[in-house]
């Protein structure tokens, strides 16, 4: 009798264990996170359905193999999370890494690890769960894409306004005047307008009016006939002819002489021109986009630029802000430049260290984005690590061997932090709560930072339009 | 060191010596070439095998390819490798044999004996393309 009772209890325990195992198996098979377990010899003991899907490896192939030969993460050799868990006896959550699949693609994943124990609590191995971040990464890139038009990229409010109206401007046939300091991307904006316009299948032709003397500019723009002047041994079509049905970009238009302004005005008014040495008019079916770093209105006031020409080209005016007024774009621009350079130079630089970024955030950039590009290119050439650090930056930027360099970096970080907070506050109309949300910190942390960094705020608190 | 039995010499006829690189970690093939730290450089002469160590100091494709190329390596045997690295190395005229798994000595023996194409040396999930052999006859079956 006693034997039978024991037997029944034994059977019930066995059934419960079997049921528990079934439930665990069903749960593991139904989740979308990859899960595998290993023994003390790092050999895979279980491999769920999602793990098969993410890695592209069948369970029967994976079981019994060394985990690093199946998972193939960049952390396996140097900083394996599972190894750390086994060594330190504690779990690690959401470590970002990548794995290399059989198609030689890098798949971004986040991994979490924990110890695997038996019923008595003895460690029998480890368990690793991992999530495929490919879609998240793609969505992140798509979101970034909202801040991009053509080759222009920005989070800045003023730039966003330009991006918003750019398709309508491009669609129209109106002449556009782009104003902005040197290196702010006037030509890139002009190209973007062309790319979005109905003329996109024809050529975009650029000419720098400030770089050529009058006579050369005239022949370059209008072209010439054979014998028009000494050395004109054959007919040469000008840039106007090259831009036929397309877009002509006249850079540095503020530099052209009063005499040439008259000739250009005729082209804009009559839509015709005469090549040098010819007596025949040619039609000019082109769209003009002009750009200048000068303030044309000031030049008009000083009688250095014709008023009628100014009104002809100032149909749609776009003002590009200098980089010092859109510093929130610096991290995005750096990422964009690194990505482009990686592509053209066949390198694999992952990004920039926080310290180097902090230094770049406090620069004034008189040369604007072009200057930032040059700095990153300089660093790109010298960088031998995965990330650009301070030592790769040009000497005029990084603190070098200055014994107070640590202090400089710390100061630079504080300045960059203060500037970022202030810009976000302005963007959110000084609403502290929204700003804290944007920064991903708690409201009270933001208040503490504002106090610590000595940021002066107006009395408006952003909750209402009224001042206190 | 290791027991290497050379039954077949993979060097081309007329070649005096050749260097083969194998990325190694814990005496096995490194799981991912992109981040592998050590390469065993095996110099094969007609009757001798010499092994030296090469440290991979850079993590960038161009520098890694240059390190291998400067070491005179003509064949690289490695684990998983991503496209930018594979292309950069192939661009240096180095033959890449990727997605190999196993113990270093076993893999080296297999390579020297032309057995590396066996499925047991493949990393799980990787299907090595079989080399097509020409058996004569006209192209396209004509």
Residues of A in contact with B82 (CB under 8 A): 100, 104-106
Of A55, A74, A102, the CB nearest to B32: A74
The number of beta carbons lying within 10 Å of the beta carbon of residue A211 is: 12
Residue A109: alpha-carbon gap to chain centroid: 21
How far A360 CA sits from the closest chain B CA (Å)? 23
Confidence of residue A4 (pLDDT cuts 50, 70, 90): low
A325-427 in CATH: which number? 1.10.8.60
Q: Is the pLDDT of residue A442 over 90?
A: no
Mean pLDDT of chain A: 85
pLDDT of B14? 60
Query: Tell me, which fold does domain B17-122 have in CATH?
Result: Nucleotidyltransferase; domain 5 (3.30.420)
Report the residue of chain A nearest B82, measured CA to CA: A104
> How close does chain A come to B62, measured CA to CA in Å?
6
Percent residues over pLDDT 70 in chain A: 90
Q: For the CA atoms of A261, A266, A272, A275, what is the dihedral angle to 10 degrees?
A: -50
For testing the chain A interface, which of B64, B124, B127 should be mutated: the one with the most A CBs within 10 Å? B124
**Average pLDDT, integer, range A174-181:** 93
CATH 3.30.450.20 corresponds to the domain A31-133: yes
Q: Which chain A residue's Cα is nearest to B123?
A: A69
DSSP E strands: which ranges in A85-235?
A: 92-100, 106-117, 123-132, 148-149, 152-153, 176-179, 204-208, 223-224
- Asked if pLDDT for residue A150 goes beyond 80, the answer is no
Q: Are residues A229 and A278 in contact, defined by beta-carbon separation less than 8 angstroms?
A: no
CB contact under 8 A, B61 and A106: no
- Closest CB from B28, B35, B62 relative to A347: B62
Question: Where is average pLDDT lowest: A85-89, A132-136, A453-457?
Answer: A453-457
Average pLDDT over residues A191-202: 92
User: Count of CB atoms within 10 A of residue A365's CB?
Assistant: 19
Residue A229 sits at φ, ψ, to 5 deg, of -155, 170
Section A302-330 average pLDDT:
91
Q: Between residues A298 and B7, which one has the greater pLDDT? A: A298
Which residues on A lie below 8 Å from B127 (Cβ)? 102
Is residue A214's pLDDT more than 60?
Answer: yes
Q: What is the structure's pLDDT at A443? A: 85
Q: Identify which of B31, B88, B98 has the shortest CB distance to residue A346.
A: B88
Question: Do the Cβ atoms of A72 and B123 come within 8 Å?
Answer: yes
Residues B107 and B77: their CA atoms lie apart, in Å, by 9
Residues of chain A neighbouring B39 (CB-CB closer than 8 A): none
CA distance A106 to chain B (A): 6
Matching residue, tokens 């009772």: A5
Looking at the domain A146-321, which fold is it?
Rossmann fold (3.40.50)
Nearest to A106 among B60, B82, B125 (CB): B82
Could you give the CA distance from residue B32 to residue A72 in angstroms, rounded to a whole number? 6
Buried b (16+ CB within 10 A) or exposed e, A436-465: bebbeeeeeebeebbeeeeeeeeeeebeee
pLDDT of residue A78: 87
pLDDT tens for each residue of A12-57: 666 666 667 778 888 888 899 999 999 999 999 999 999 999 999 9
All residues of chain B having their beta carbon less than 8 Å from the beta carbon of residue A54 are none
At B13, is the pLDDT very low, low, confident or very high (cuts 50, 70, 90)?
low
Q: Is the pLDDT of residue B51 over 80?
A: yes
Q: Give the per-residue pLDDT at A127.
A: 94
Q: Is the confidence at residue A287, as pLDDT, over 90?
A: yes
CB contact (8 A) between residue B59 and residue A105: no
> Two tokens at A239?
């840039």
Read off the pLDDT band of B129 (50, 70, 90).
Answer: low
Binning pLDDT at 50, 70 and 90, where does residue A457 land?
A: confident
Of A57, A72, A347, the CB nearest to B31: A72
Q: What is the mean pLDDT of residues A183-208?
A: 92
Minimal-distance CA residue of chain A relative to B81 = A104
User: pLDDT tens digit string along A295-310?
Assistant: 999 999 999 999 999 9
């Amino acid at each position: 009798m006693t034997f039978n009772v024991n037997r029944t209890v034994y059977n019930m325990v066995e059934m419960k264990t079997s049921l528990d195992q079934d439930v665990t198996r069903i749960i593991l098979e139904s989740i979308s996170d990859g899960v595998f377990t290993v023994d003390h010899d790092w050999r895979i003991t279980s491999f769920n359905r999602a793990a098969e899907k993410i890695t592209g490896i069948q369970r029967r192939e994976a079981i019994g193999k060394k985990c690093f030969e199946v998972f193939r993460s960049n952390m396996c050799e140097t900083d394996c999370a599972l190894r750390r868990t086994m060594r330190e006896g504690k779990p690690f959550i959401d470590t970002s890494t990548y794995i290399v699949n059989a198609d030689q693609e890098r798949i971004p994943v986040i991994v979490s690890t924990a110890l695997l124990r038996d019923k008595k609590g003895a460690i029998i191995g480890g368990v690793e769960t991992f999530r495929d971040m490919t879609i998240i990464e793609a969505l992140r890139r798509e979101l970034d894409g909202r801040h991009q038009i053509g080759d222009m990229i920005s989070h800045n409010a003023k730039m966003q306004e330009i991006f918003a109206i750019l398709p309508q401007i491009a669609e129209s046939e109106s002449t556009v005047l782009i104003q902005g300091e040197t290196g702010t991307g006037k030509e890139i904006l002009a190209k973007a307008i062309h790319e979005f316009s109905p003329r996109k299948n024809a050529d975009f032709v650029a000419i720098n009016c400030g770089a050529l003397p009058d006579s050369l500019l005239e022949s370059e723009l209008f072209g010439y006939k054979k014998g028009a002047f000494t050395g004109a041994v054959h007919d040469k079509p000008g840039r106007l002819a090259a831009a036929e049905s397309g877009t002509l970009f006249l850079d540095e238009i503020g530099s052209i002489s009063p005499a040439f302004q008259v000739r250009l005005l005729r082209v804009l008014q009559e839509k015709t021109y005469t090549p040098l040495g010819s007596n025949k008019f040619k039609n000019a079916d082109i769209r003009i986009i002009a750009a200048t770093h000068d303030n044309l209105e000031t030049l008009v006031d000083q009688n250095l630029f014709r008023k009628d020409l100014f009104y002809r080209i100032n149909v749609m005016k776009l003002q590009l802000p200098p980089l010092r007024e859109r510093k929130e774009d610096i991290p995005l621009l750096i990422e964009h430049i690194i990505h482009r350079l990686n592509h053209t130079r066949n390198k694999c630089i992952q990004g920039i260290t926080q310290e180097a970024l902090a230094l770049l955030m406090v620069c004034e950039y008189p040369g604007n984005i072009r200057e930032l590009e040059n700095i990153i290119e300089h660093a790109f050439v010298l960088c031998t690590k995965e990330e650009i650090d301070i030592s790769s930056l040009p000497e005029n930027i990084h603190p070098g061997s200055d014994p107070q360099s640590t202090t400089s970096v710390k100061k630079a970080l504080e300045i960059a932090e203060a500037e970022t907070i202030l810009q976000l506050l302005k963007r959110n109309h000084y609403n502290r709560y929204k700003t804290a949300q944007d920064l991903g910190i708690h409201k009270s942390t933001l208040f503490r930072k504002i106090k610590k960094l000595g940021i002066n705020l107006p009395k408006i608190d952003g909750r209402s339009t009224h001042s206190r | 060191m290791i027991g290497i039995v050379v039954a077949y010499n993979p060097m081309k006829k007329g070649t005096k010596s050749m260097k083969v690189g194998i990325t190694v970690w814990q005496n096995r093939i490194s799981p991912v070439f992109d981040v592998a730290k050590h390469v065993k450089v095996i110099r094969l002469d007609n009757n001798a095998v010499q092994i030296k160590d090469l440290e991979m100091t850079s993590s960038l494709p161009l520098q890694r390819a240059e390190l291998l190329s400067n070491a005179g390596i003509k064949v690289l045997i490695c684990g998983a490798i991503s496209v930018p690295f594979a292309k950069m190395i192939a661009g240096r005229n180095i033959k890449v044999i990727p997605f190999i798994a196993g113990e270093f000595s076993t893999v080296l023996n297999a390579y020297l004996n032309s057995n590396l194409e066996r499925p047991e040396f493949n990393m799980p999930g990787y299907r090595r393309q079989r080399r097509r052999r020409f058996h004569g006859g006209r192209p396209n079956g004509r």
